[in-house]
Structure 1
Amino acid sequence: MTIKKLTILPTGAEILLPAGSPLTEVEYETPQRLIPFGCRSGSCGACVIEVLEGFTSLGEPDHDELDFLEDLGRTGGNHRLACQCRLRGDATVRVAEES
């Protein structure tokens, strides 16, 4: 099993997960609430993250995710919904501030 590292800012927490794990697994790796997950289905926007490194390591966003991010005013290509991501390589993300 290959292990990948997810660094979450602003805390600087480093979480190790098996490759292909959904980012929702972060909740089970630490008692801290590092990413504020809500619905887990990509429809509430609670878990918006800004990808600082390793954008392609989180898989490709689908059209629905991109449309919803645009509705939230998160355009520019570096934001994702964490609940829709799977960790395929090392990545660094920052929990987005509410807009």
Structure 2
Amino acid sequence: MVLNKLTLMPHGLEVLLPAGAPLTDLENETSHRVIPFGCQSGACGACVIEVLAGPDSLGEMDPDESDFLEDLGRADGNFRLACQCRLMAAATVQVAEEL
């Protein structure tokens, strides 16, 4: 099984997840609640993250996610909905600051 490293800033917390694992698996892998997952279906926006490194490591963004991020004012490409991401390779993220 291939494991990929997700680094969560600003804590510097490093978590290993199986390749292709959804980021929602973080809730089972750490006692720290570093990403506030809400609905887990991409409809609430609670889990907006800023991708600091490895944007291509989080899987393809589908049009619904892209449209929703645009509605939230986060359409510049550095932002994702964590609940819609799968860790394909190493990445570094942080919870997005509120606008």
* TM > 0.5 fold call: yes
Aligned counterparts, 1:32-71, within 5 A: 32-71=32-71
Kindly indicate whether residue 82 of structure 2 is the aligned counterpart of residue 82 of structure 1.
Answer: yes
Q: What root-mean-square deviation, in Å, do the aligned CA atoms of Structure 1 and Structure 2 show?
A: 0.6
Output the TM-score relative to the length of structure 1. 0.98
Paired amino acid for 2:8: I
Moved over 2 A (4+): none
Give the letter aligned to residue 77 of structure 2: G
Instruction: Determine helix, strand or coil for the equivalent of 2:16.
Output: strand
Residues 1:27 and 2:30 are matched in the alignment: no
Could you tell me which amino acid in structure 2 is paired with residue 37 of structure 1? F
Aligned length: 99
Structure 1 position 9, deviation (Å) = 0.7
Percent identity among equivalent residues?
69
5+ residue gaps in structure 1?
Answer: none
How far apart are residue 36 of structure 1 and its match?
A: 0.4
Q: Secondary structure at the match of 1:34?
A: coil
SS at 1:27 equivalent: helix
Q: CA deviation at 1:10?
A: 1.2
Aligned partner of 1:39: which letter?
Answer: C
Q: How far apart in 2 are the matches of 1:23 and 1:4?
A: 11
Look up the SS of the partner of 2:6 in the other structure: strand
